[in-house]
Homo-oligomer: A and B are copies of this chain.
Amino acid sequence: MTPTKPLQELPGPHPRCDQCPIRARALFQVVSEDYIAHAEQYRKAQYSLPAKAHLYREGQHPNMAFTLFDGWIMLYRQARDGSRQGLRVALPGDFIGYQAVGTSGASHAAMAITACTLCGFEHQDLRDMLHDQPHLAVQLADIQSRDMASCQNQMLGLGRKRAEGRVAYLMLDLFHRMRERGANDGNSIAFPLTQEIIGDLTGLTVVHTNRVIQKLRSSGLIESGGRRLVIRDEAGLSEVAEFDQG
């Protein structure tokens, strides 16, 4: 096992990772207890990661894929000038880091936005699992296909929407995904993204991100600050975001 440096094994073995969202969502969404037990034998370790630490970096050979147990992670790529393009925010339950055979290294970096805990699976073990449990293979294909669809939303935004629409879309997307997880408080959610990270994700500079957020606030669409986000006018925000379908 060769985890990146900031990775730390949790103190002591976890019995059966009982609340691990691996059961609830992600790869093993609707599978029976038998499958769970089967999966257990492959799960290598549970990791924890402090905020701002990297799970893996571009070009590295993480050799593992992960189910995010708790916390937020940003996947991003870096341009030559050092600026970062955020690809996706992973929320609890999401599956990240799967990599094709024969690829030389990770196509992107993964950085903890907040402190995180994760379950790690070796790639080869994952492939073995897909062999043994064809159901999982179909599920993985579906997970990847859904990820792809959300990437396409991101591309549409980066290529064709104004700054305001991109930021609004990001906020709505995160709001809905948190709500799916029951992690909302009415129309507000915990929101640990700094404006710098919002800028990374929307392809904007920090300065412009700030101006856009202020505009969204003064339009009465959102409230934000203190690591929380309140959606004041969901319909209006959806309009600005060109957000389709809840």
Which of A87, A146, A152, A161 neighbours the largest number of chain B CB atoms within 10 Å of its CB? Answer: A152
Prevailing SS type, chain A contact patch: helix
B141 and A87 contact, CB distance less than 8 A: no
CA distance A141 to B127 in the complex (A): 9
Enumerate A32-46 residues with CB–CB distance to B below 8 Å: none
Enumerate A212-246 residues with CB–CB distance to B below 8 Å: 242
Contact of A130 among B86, B107, B141 (CB under 8 A): B141
B131 and A79 contact, CB distance less than 8 A: no
A108 and B152 contact, CB distance less than 8 A: yes
Enumerate A125-173 residues with CB–CB distance to B below 8 Å: 127, 130-132, 134-135, 137-138, 140-149, 151-156, 158-161
A74 to chain B, nearest CB (A): 13
B159 and A203 contact, CB distance less than 8 A: yes
**Chain B residues with Cβ under 8 A from A137's Cβ?**
130-131, 134, 137-138, 140-141
Asked if A207 is an interface residue, CB under 8 A from chain B, the answer is no
**Chain B residues with Cβ under 8 A from A79's Cβ?**
156, 160-161, 242
A107 and B77 contact, CB distance less than 8 A: no
Asked if A184 is an interface residue, CB under 8 A from chain B, the answer is no
Asked if A98 is an interface residue, CB under 8 A from chain B, the answer is yes
Asked if A195 is an interface residue, CB under 8 A from chain B, the answer is no
**Chain B residues with Cβ under 8 A from A63's Cβ?**
none
A98 and B134 contact, CB distance less than 8 A: no
6 contacts between A and B (CB under 8 A): A79-B160, A103-B145, A127-B138, A134-B134, A144-B144, A144-B148
